[in-house]
Amino acid sequence: MTHAAFPALRLRRTRAAAWSRALVSETRVSPADLIWPLFVTEGKGVEEPIASLPGVSRWSVDGIAARVREARDLGIPCVALFPNTPRDLRTEDGREALNPDNLMCRAIRAAKDAAPEVGILTDVALDPYTAHGHDGIVDGAGYVLNDATSNILVDQALVQAAAGADIVAPSDMMDGRVGAIRTALEREGRVNVQIMAYAAKYASAFYGPFRDAVGSGGLLKGDKKSYQMDPANAEEALREVALDLAEGADHVMVKPGLPYLDIVARVKRRFEVPVFAYAVSGEYAMIEAAATAGAGDRDALVLETLTAFKRAGCAGVLTYHAPVAARLLGNG
Ligand code: PBG
């Protein structure tokens, strides 16, 4: 009788049963890993579905309050708010961003009233407020001016913090704005307002549905390549992260998400700080389109991608699938 040679190590052994797979699992996703982006619109009792983001709507302020209570009940610790500013309030300089009673600030206050235990993250950038759709002030040649923009962003962050924002998240990619915002927050005594820097934000084709959602897409003149990063670059992302951390960022974000997990992994390994990824609107739309076309199972795609984010090193993920994922994962 001959003994067939056997593999010295059978990695399939621990995969054979569900109990064993659970035991050796290296990565867990929970609702506590999720940040839910929400779009705000004017009115009362308004829900406006966004065609390019099937399943996602803009909500009036009362609806935002309801969504934030829903987040709390689902165990989602934080929501991110984005306003669809009425067209007639959009100007060259985006000054509506500094109005303490703007749509954004009213939504922040309503959210804090509705469920104070849920964190509120606010986007610091001018694109929902400018008539040209850029994140800052443009000169005659269409170039976004760095320092002039940064000065306004500081005031925007202070207005949001005064309304109750817990995390301000500059998404504009101006140089030096994290330090300027941190200095101003300290000066105003808002020492516990956190900064999540969109540190490695790429000039991406995956932002289209978001721009529909905040109403800036049709307005945008040109592209954002003079401030957002070139998708070809990784070392530059590490420099961006190093700068934002030196300027006082509490967390850093990589955006978009899935095509940039190499950046997440490198940032995590190099800096050992909380790294977040934004699974952006185009990524959400791809999963929805695939599911609708019968090319994949939505729930499985959502959970697999979230696991991949965590495995790459993310502390958490901003995702429009947050409520779907939280329901699948169960509360706590
Ligand atoms: C704007 C901003 C964008 C997103 C978040 N903040 C769009 C852009 O830079 O044009 C994109 C998010 C998404 O696509 O889901 N400052």
In a domain, 88, yes or no: yes
In a domain, 7, yes or no: no
In a domain, 182, yes or no: yes
In a domain, 23, yes or no: no
| Residue 90 CB-half CA count within 13 A | 22
| Residue 212 near ligand 1, beta carbon < 6 Å | no
In a domain, 273, yes or no: yes
Mean pLDDT by 10 residues, the chain (332 residues): 77 97 97 98 98 97 98 98 97 98 98 98 98 96 97 98 98 98 98 98 97 93 96 98 98 98 98 98 98 98 98 98 97 50
Q: Which amino acid appears at position 319 of this protein?
A: T
How crowded is residue 272: how many other Cβ atoms within 10 Å of its Cβ?
9
In a domain, 22, yes or no: no
How buried is residue 232: exposed, middle or buried, by Cβ count under 10 Å (0-12/13-18/19+)?
Answer: exposed
How crowded is residue 169: how many other Cβ atoms within 10 Å of its Cβ?
26
Domain extent for 158? 28-328
Whole-angstrom distance, CA of residue 127 vs CA of residue 129: 5
In a domain, 9, yes or no: no
Domain count, the chain: 1
Angle at 191 between CA 276 and CA 85, to 5 degrees: 60
Angle at 144 between CA 139 and CA 149, to 5 degrees: 100
| Residue of 112, 201, 224, 268 with catalytic role | 201
DSSP output for 77-114: -EEEEEE---GGG-BSS-GGGG-TTSHHHHHHHHHHHH
User: Could you tell me the two tokens for 158?
Assistant: 């202070």
User: Could you tell me the two tokens for 170?
Assistant: 């500059």
Ligand 1, atom 10: closest residue by C-alpha: 207
Instruction: State pTM to two decimals.
Output: 0.96
Residue 310 appears among annotated catalytic residues:
no
Residue 201 appears among annotated catalytic residues:
yes
| Residue of 112, 224, 255, 268 with catalytic role | 255
Residue-level pLDDT at 332: 44
Query: What's the ipTM?
Result: 0.97
Residue-level pLDDT at 6: 81
CATH number at residue 317: 3.20.20.70
In a domain, 10, yes or no: no
